[in-house]
Amino acid sequence: MTRPFQISLFALGAQRHGMALGYILGGAWVAILLVAFAAPAPALDGADQRLTSPTAQLPMFKDPRAALRAGLESYHSGKAGASIEALRYAADGGEYLAQWKLARMYAEGDGVARDDHKAFDYFSKIVEHFAEDDPDPSLRSMASSAFVSVGRYLRAGIASAKLAPDPERAFDLFRYAATFFGDADAQYNVARMYLDGVGVKKDMRQGMNWLDLAARKGHAPAQALLGEMMFNGEAGGAAQRPRGLMYLTLARESAGNAPADQWIIDLHAKALASASEADRRAAVAMLENYLRHRD
């Protein structure tokens, strides 16, 4: 899906010099989507027959794959809560997509009460399996996100489950997903741990290298952090204010209006307010060149 990329943030400075910079640059935005089964769910065995026991109201599925399809169909029809039992059946039968979907639902409180412990357990099942086996190409994105999710839980710990933080283990999982899967979110987390010296010895050079990898893949938090460090001269060497402002603008355009993205919006606004007119004009030129070569 193509989305217009607007450089409206530099419009004010452009007008002062009569520059026609308030135009729109086209940018191809690629989203990795985990495609659910599109085929309709196969009929359940004994679909018209109900178990007579009042304590046994679950439908009988032909197999875990049938349960997975039924669960996803129910979820996508707006019945997230009703999909839980089918997805559990599929997850217990080894369907990784069901494990991933349940983990996400519990992590986000989507159709079920939020439960980080259950989310962690379901994500961990995926990690345990794919730590040894290379996933099918269609499952790589799912597997990678599970590694990153478990890493986040281990880095922070889960108080309700009495799971203590384990930053060293978290770093190992992030690094695995960053190198084996090339996951931008994992690369960003590896960078942060190197920069903060958490779970690994502090190493600014390594941190910047990983941050640059994630930023070049369009990871907005990585772009924002890299841009801030370049703009303020914290990336090593002299400050690179135009390039830093370019990355902050890329991050700002990618960020939404959710509270979780407010820090990106604030960083960009702060840099833009303190940038000189020359910085802004140079940043626009760099941004044009960046988008041209990326697309």
Q: In this structure, what are the phi and psi dihedrals at residue 23, rounded to the nearest 5 degrees? A: -95, 180
Query: Contact at 8 Å (CB) between 120 and 95?
Result: no
Answer yes or no: are the C-beta atoms of 234 and 242 closer than 8 Å: no
What's CA 170's distance to the chain center, in Å? 16
What pLDDT score was predicted for residue 109? 95
What separation in angstroms does the CA of 277 have from each of 156, 233, 240, 281? 42, 18, 15, 6
274, 239 Cβ separation under 8 angstroms? no
256 compared with 10, residue with greater pLDDT: 256
pLDDT tens digits, residue range 26-36? 333 323 222 33
| Backbone region of residue 239 per phi and psi (left: phi > 0; alpha: psi in -120 to 50; beta: other values) | beta
* Assigned superfamily of 115-217: Tetratricopeptide repeat domain (1.25.40.10)
Q: Enumerate the domain spans of the chain.
A: 60-112, 115-217, 220-295
CB count in 10 Å sphere of residue 61: 23
Mean pLDDT of 67-91: 93
Query: Counting beta carbons within 10 angstroms of the beta carbon of residue 261, is it exposed (0 to 12), middle (13 to 18) or buried (19 or more)?
Result: middle
Nearest CA to 181 out of 139, 209, 122, 216 is that of 139
The closest of 73, 49, 69 to 59, measured between CA atoms, is 49
Please report which confidence band the pLDDT of residue 145 belongs to, taking 50, 70 and 90 as the band edges.
Answer: very high
The share of the chain scoring above pLDDT 90, in percent, equals 68
- Contact yes or no for 177/150 (Cβ under 8 A): no
* 5: pLDDT strictly greater than 60: no
Q: Closest by alpha carbon to 12, among 4, 3, 21?
A: 21
Taking only the tens place, the pLDDT of each residue in 18-61 is 333 232 233 333 232 223 333 333 333 333 333 333 333 445 68
What type of residue sits at position 80? A
pTM score of the predicted model? 0.77
Among 6-10, 41-45, 201-205, the range of highest mean pLDDT: 201-205
Residue pair 208/196 in contact by the 8 Å Cβ criterion: no
Q: Which of 55, 62, 63, 113 is nearest to 84 (CA)?
A: 113
Give the number of other Cβ atoms within 10 Å of residue 163's Cβ.
Answer: 15
Q: Kindly report the backbone phi and psi dihedral angles of residue 292, in degrees, each rounded to the nearest multiple of 5, phi listed first.
A: -65, -45
Write the pLDDT tens digit of every residue in 118-139.
999 999 999 999 987 788 898 9
